Amino acid sequence: MARTQASDYEQRREGIVEKAADLFASMGFRGASVSDLAASCQTSKSLIYHYYPSKEDVLYAVMLSHIDQLVEDVKTVMAQAGSPRDRLQWLLHLFMEHYVGAAARQKVLLNELGNLPEDKRLSVMRKQRMIIDAVQSLIVDIHPELANEPAEARVRTMLLFGMLNWTKTWFDDRGPVTAGAIADMAFDLIAPA
């Protein structure tokens, strides 16, 4: 007879992902062991393996927990009516809302991609590319002259992501500047009125 799933199965998986994000962000994927993760979760290694077959699967779950939210943000914004300016500004606000409190997940996504098996790495990279392409399309809609300059359009897009992605290293959401204000500043730099 098949083993039944505990009622808190998904909560436990998410708890492991949360602890793993912090651990991998502070120690690096290679520096953190499954024993370290089990200790951080106050559980056993065997229970970690019950929820995730391998350490790489935990890493993948950490990355998906963050990037899937960003993909959802893109889908939400791109499905709405509105000017490209309004949609880009809204999207940047959503990104910053989700970056706040997810600094560890963002750091893991940016720094540990090379530690995934190829199929999982390519899956994450496809999602990253979709996000980048959507933002670039909005930038080109705002600056139509970039339609004939795809290299410059990509550079502007990557500069924007450079501004936002690395807020994890310095932004303090308890400080005097809000995440929304940062999104507006980045927007004003990339799409001045």
Q: What is the pLDDT of residues 95-111, one digit of tens each?
A: 999 888 888 999 999 99
DSSP per residue, 156-172 = HHHHHHHHHHGGGGT--
Contact 16, 48 (CB under 8 A): yes
Q: What's the Cα-to-Cα distance from 170 to each of 15, 103, 104, 173, 175, rounded to whole Å?
A: 25, 10, 13, 10, 11
pTM of the model: 0.89
- Note the CATH number of domain 55-190: 1.10.357.10
Q: What is the pLDDT of residues 38-92, one digit of tens each?
A: 999 999 999 999 999 999 999 999 999 999 999 999 999 999 999 999 999 999 9
* Poorest-pLDDT segment among 3-7, 89-93, 146-150: 3-7
- The length of the chain in residues reads 193
Residue 3 has pLDDT above 60, yes or no: no
Query: Which pLDDT value is given to residue 4?
Result: 59
